[in-house]
Amino acid sequence: MNYVIVIEYLAVIVSAIYGVLLASRKGMDVMGVFAVSFAVAFGGGTLRDLFLDRTPLFWIGNPHYPMIVLGIAIFSGFLVRYISRIRPLLVFPDALGMALFTLTGTAYAMDAETGFFVAALLGVITGTFGGVLGDVICNEVPSLFIPSPLNATCSFAGAWVYLGMTQLEILHPFALVSGIAVIVLFRLAAVRWNWCFPAVREPAAPVDP
């Protein structure tokens, strides 16, 4: 499982940076930035650990994670000045964080001997919940739930790629990297070419605000 921990480190860092960019656009102070980064970086993995009854929680068992997030939040003033010029890139840490966390969720679920379907589902929850939580705290409607470029679908696809490759007894790190690559590329393509599912049905006439 060593590779999974490397991936988790990366996922925490990338998600925290995404959280900083999200929060700073809302005029938050350093404590708000820390809270949003914390929620984005640890929300998905915390749900995963609670759902699978893993103890201690990954960020309690590894205190470096919250320290890293605190460090990123403290230096967010500098970060934001340089990173915000490249605003369009916000989509990349988002996609990468989702991909990395999806794979940790799927891998830990298989460790806990859930079936494939539940493992893929836990991957999606781990991968997307942090971003949803960040949106909710920042008072934005979670883009996950309205017709918008594919998101959870990419995560789901990558989880199945990983699961399939482990069944074919392909080397574990290679299966992990393939799953991540599928998610990131699928997500970037979906954003680039605006791949969406249609609405199941036209919304009721006077749409609620």
Binding site for its own copies (CB under 8 A): 20, 23-33, 35-36, 46, 50-53, 55-57, 59-60, 63, 66-67, 76-77, 80-81, 84, 112, 114-115, 117-118, 121-122, 137, 139-142, 144-147, 150-153, 196-204, 207-208
Return phi, psi of residue 68, to 5°.
Answer: -60, -45
| 187 within 8 A of 131, measured Cβ to Cβ | no
Cα 134 to Cα 173: distance, rounded to the nearest angstrom? 30
Q: What dihedral do alpha carbons 182, 185, 126, 141 form, nearest 10°? A: -150
**Least distance between its own copies and beta carbon 105 (Å):** 12
Q: What is the DSSP letter of 90?
A: G
| 105 within 8 A of 126, measured Cβ to Cβ | yes
Q: For its own copies, give the closer residue by CB, 152 or 188.
A: 152
Q: How far apart are the first and last CA of the chain?
A: 46
- H or E segment at 70? helix 64-74
Q: For its own copies, give the closer residue by CB, 168 or 200.
A: 200
Contacts of 138 (CB under 8 A, 6+ apart): 22, 23, 25, 26, 36
